[in-house]
Amino acid sequence: MLFKMLRKDIAQKKTITAALFILITLSSLFVASGSNMAMELTHSMNTLFTKSNAPHFVQMHAGELDEAAIDHFASRNSDVKEQQLVEMVNIDGLNLTLGDNPTPETSGIMDHYFVEQNKKFDYLLNLENEIIQVSQGEIAVPVYFMQQYNLNLGDKIRIADSPFDATFTVVDFVRDVQMNPSIIHSKRFVVHNDDLDMLSKNVGEIEYMVEFLLTDLSKLSEFRNAYQTAGMPQQGPNIDYPLFQTLHALTDGVVAAAILFVSVMLTLIAMLCIRFIMLTTLEEDYREIGIMKAVGIEQKDIKKMYLFKYIMLAALASVTGFLISLFLNDLLTANIQLYFGAAEKSMLHYMVPFIAVLVIFLTVLLYCTLILRKLHKLTAVEALRSGYMGEEANASRKSLSLSKSKYVNVPVFLGLKDVFGRFKMYSLLLFVFCVCSFMIIVPVNFLNTVQSPDFVTYMGIERSDIRIDLQQSDDTMEQFNHMLAYIQNDEDVEQFSPLITSQFKVVNSDGAEENITVESGDFSIFPLEYLEGDPPLREQEIALSYLNGQELEKNAGDRLHLIINGQEQEMIVSGIYQDVTNGGRTAKALMPFNPDTVLWYEVSVDVKHPINIREKLDEYAEIFHPAKVTDLQGYLAETFGHTIEQLRLLTVLAIIIAVSIALLMTSLFLKMLIAKDDAQISIMKSIGFSFKDIRTQYVTRTLLVLGVGIIFGTIVANTVGQRVVSLLLSFMGASEISFVIDPIQAYILCPLLLMIVVTIATFMSIVSIKKSSIADLDAE
């Protein structure tokens, strides 16, 4: 009997049933896909870290070092399980040509390190997650460059520095547990040991990575302090296992979180839609329910009849969404599989998405059960006497009076009157439009923010026309001084600011010394925006990045102690700024740099208007070689290029989904509303209202609700949306994102798109009004 009732109900309400089915299916699809992405990311990353035997602590070093002293330190430290010294040949982009690219890598910001395969750990893997082995004349290229330049096996890599000239054949692509993400500006190429010796003697500069595997990862902090206080090589940044994991997980983790968030929004819409449908159905069947109660049918049996449809609908939609997600998983996890490899599928891999879908199903079921509690309050006498739930009668008292309308068109006024009079009913559509606006505006604003030149302020970088980076080497100081002299005498330059980054010791909250990366220079020329306080203006002041402030437990106005020239000096924290580079752990101060631990030099330059920045970039790149000369747009593109592509795809997907939901829900709502208002429509037609007049009423209603929904959605997007994005990026070091809003996109194009879609849906949904007549009403 229940199946017969179900078939009859579906036949009578095809559109409503289809809309609900689609909503729950989409919600299940997204929650399954998002949780699958999270599982794939976690499993694949763990597989990469395991198969490559990722190091726990790495110290990069430029310059001479004492290998025997490192071995001695490692042998005496009980926390060290394995230790190795990795020699790298850093080849300038000017000497490197990749594949069919017509020009060398002159304008790139990446460092190109050529290495041989490691012997003990930190293995460089191929696309099958196997340890790479190459022969003489062969090379394995980082996945980043494969994707950037569409490289294929058999392509040529040329290294030329007159008179030296060598060509290598690409035989594999490198998954690097340390340097995979684009946010890391270093990449390792694998060559044969004999080729590496040849390169080191003819081109490039030798740098080192001092790598350690520990017996107990929980002792990482203790080991870092021991290494830094033992006078070991540390002329370069140090990175560790947790930071590797964080940098690898960020991009795809943010996408997975966004997909799960969309699923939550869709579930909310589906539940509100179910509530409206169920209440409407109960109201239509109020008298029949009273009769069933009067003849002795039990409460639980009546509930079962109404609940059965939604159990079957939610179950079928949830299963459908889960099955579709199985076919889309490879598409959504393509980037994860490229950079990490496909992890072996375990039962848990399928169980987590299935459980997530099951949660959606149980949530819908519980919500339906709660709605049906209204039946408890219903008595047979009340239902037979009134025949309706009484909500409309109460609403009508709050309606506007037509007699008060003097300047508004009557159909328009009646449309406004109906929205105010039955606002509780229209609140469903209002919420849907608010969510749709939110789903469109947040991705659009975030994409504009990441693409904007202002985003460099979240990278701890001062905004300028040109940025020049120079890595530390034997004669870097001389090159840097030459660069400054040239820029100072360049009449095209408006202003410039030289900055030198070096390492100092800081006393942490436990009283132990640890390294801190400090940028020295004048920060008033190209100022940053600070979360707290101000830039350092005196030598006793220091500004900390957000993550450094958290780890050192310091805020603006607090004091910390630096070790400068062997002496402990008290510094005042002048401010806290945001920085997502170098692991988010940096500092800025006016004090003299430490010449023994300089990491890199940089110069920010603004040129005079109307000087062509591109021409100036080419001029500086040639004169200041081997410095890396970029504009900020190019710097952002290389650092976050792939992330921006993913965000662009996600934004398009969010817009399509939001528009589809607006179209679907408008059609669904209006079909139910027209069925509910059938008698009223027939009366209006009988007293002279034309089809156009009635259509105007319904268009007015939907556009009014849409307008309010867009306003609320925009407000929520620019407040709650910013908070959500800031929370995600706080793990990188940017805890307070301010959206860069394109007013044409956010306030004109996006609302206009929704208005067009909703208007079309309204016109399509009210065609059935033509069939209504007073004769039908009399027949009833």
255-280 per-position pLDDT tens digit: 777 777 777 777 777 777 777 777 66
Q: What is the pLDDT of residues 75-110, one digit of tens each?
A: 998 899 999 999 999 888 878 888 887 777 765 678
Residue 513 has pLDDT above 60, yes or no: yes
Provide mean pLDDT across the span 346-366.
86
Q: What is the mean pLDDT of the chain?
A: 80
Task: Supply the pLDDT for residue 573.
Answer: 92
Q: Is 734 helix (H, G, I), strand (E, B) or coil?
A: coil
pLDDT at 391 over 60: no
β-bridge mates for residue 239, sequence order: 58
pLDDT of 342 above 80: no
pLDDT score, position 734: 62
Alpha-carbon span 574 to 710, nearest angstrom: 41
Q: What is the pLDDT of residue 377?
A: 60
Give the model confidence (pLDDT) of 429-484 as tens digits. Answer: 888 889 888 888 888 888 888 777 777 666 667 788 888 888 766 677 888 888 99
Host H or E run for residue 601? strand 598-607
Mean of the pLDDT values across residues 331-339?
80
| Amino acid 172: pLDDT | 93
Return left, alpha or beta for 340; rule: phi > 0 is left, psi -120 to 50 is alpha, else beta.
alpha
- The helix or strand, by DSSP H or E, that contains position 328, with its residue range, turns out to be helix 299-332
* 475-494 pLDDT tens trace: 778 888 889 999 999 999 99
* Predicted local confidence at residue 283, as pLDDT: 65
The winner for highest mean pLDDT among 33-42, 245-254, 369-378, 405-414 is 33-42
Are 165 and 219 in contact, with CB atoms under 8 Å apart?
no
Residue 775 has pLDDT above 60, yes or no: no
Rounded percentage of the chain residues whose pLDDT exceeds 70: 84
CA distances (Å), origin 572, targets 213, 503, 515: 36, 18, 18
* Burial class of 658 by CB neighbour count within 10 A (0 to 12, 13 to 18, 19+): buried
Residue 293 phi, psi dihedral angles, 5° rounding: -70, -40
Higher per-residue pLDDT: 687 or 76: 76
CA distance linking residue 343 with residue 323, whole number of Å? 20
Q: Over range 361-389, report the average pLDDT.
A: 66
Q: Which amino acid is at 281?
A: T
pLDDT value at residue 778: 46
Please write the tens of the pLDDT for every residue from 590-616.
888 777 778 788 898 999 888 888 888
Q: Please, which pLDDT band fits residue 388 given cuts at 50, 70 and 90?
A: very low
What span, in angstroms and rounded, lies between the C-alpha atoms of 773 and 770?
8
Name the pLDDT band for 286 (thresholds 50, 70, 90).
low
Is pLDDT above 90 for 210?
A: yes
Q: Would you state the torsion angle of the CA atoms of residues 23, 29, 33, 34, taken in this order, to the nearest 10 degrees?
A: 30
Residue 610: asked if its preceding bond is cis (omega within 30°), the reply is yes
Task: Give DSSP secondary structure letters for 702-725.
Answer: HHHHHHHHHHHHHHHIIIIIHHHH
Q: Where residue 62 falls among pLDDT bands split at 50, 70, 90?
A: confident
Distance CA 199, CA 238 (A): 26
On whether the pTM is more than 0.85, the answer is no
* Rounded Cα gap, residues 572 and 532, in angstroms: 13
Closest C-alpha to 91, from 609, 622, 473: 473
